[in-house]
A = this chain, B = another copy of it.
């Protein structure tokens, strides 16, 4: 059924979705999927129209057993022209593995709060930035794109409210290292639109161009899409989302899944914003993957479009 599109003044005409399901999503699922299933997942994402897919992680297998097969997965994927496949690397050893696998984009995962840096990275914020420095420098020398995750930008489960100045400080240092894009993470899903605007305005005032900003909202309290809509109205054109709402954060107890790609697509397409991605193919993929994971997708749109009722 066609419900039409109604554009809204002040929003971008096109948005790039960074699909984080294969990495951020799967690393936080209980089930460990076979490499063939992961490769089919990535192939289905490409077939649906995705052009930016965070594919896996070179974090040591003892930390994230779900992604222990990073090399095999990259071997199993036929890289499509026009598609970028960033992989997460924690350190120089990870970068070497990524370069050996022929990857053209990496991501590093930082924190704006000290507590989360210590719990997730076992380092202070300063120490983690020091760890990233040679990684980003070498990656840029090799011509790679570098996505810098900033987690806990909108609240921290141990520290509570996170000062905007703290986000600006760490964001500025990450850009100075050479990151080509920053992904602002609401890792525990607590943000509301006023805080989103405050952070985006402060980053703009600090001279970080909005083109270098992505937003990464979790739907823990049901706020992810309203926050995304707010960011769109402030010029952000790269939105992180995960197929079917896969994922969360294993170090933050209260965190549930990422913004579901399908809920985001319904939103963007209703607003007449181009994504190049086929919603029904994504719904089919998330239903297929839910069966492999043995649990239903938490995405509202997947539930609605995937049920057998006529519409």
Chain A positions within 8 Å of B, measured between CB atoms, are 1-8, 154-155, 157, 160-161, 189-195, 197-198, 219-223, 225-226, 228-230, 253-254, 256, 260, 263, 266-267, 270-272, 299-301, 303-305, 307, 309-311
Task: Pick 24 A–B contacts, CB within 8 A, sort by A.
Answer: A1-B155, A3-B161, A3-B190, A4-B155, A4-B160, A4-B161, A5-B194, A6-B192, A8-B194, A192-B266, A193-B229, A193-B271, A194-B271, A220-B300, A221-B300, A222-B263, A222-B267, A222-B300, A225-B225, A226-B229, A226-B267, A254-B307, A254-B309, A254-B311
Q: Which of B1, B191, B225, B303 contacts A223 (CB under 8 A)?
A: B225
- CA distance in complex: A305, B311 (Å): 34
Given contacts A193-B271, A254-B311, A270-B192, contact A304 B221 (CB under 8 A): yes
- CA distance in complex: A310, B307 (Å): 35
Whole-angstrom distance from the CB of A159 to the nearest CB of chain B? 9
Q: Which of A7, A161, A194 has the most CB of B within 10 A?
A: A194
- CA distance in complex: A254, B3 (Å): 14
Q: Which of B191, B307, B310 contacts A270 (CB under 8 A)?
A: B191
Nearest-CB residue, chain B, relative to A158:
B1
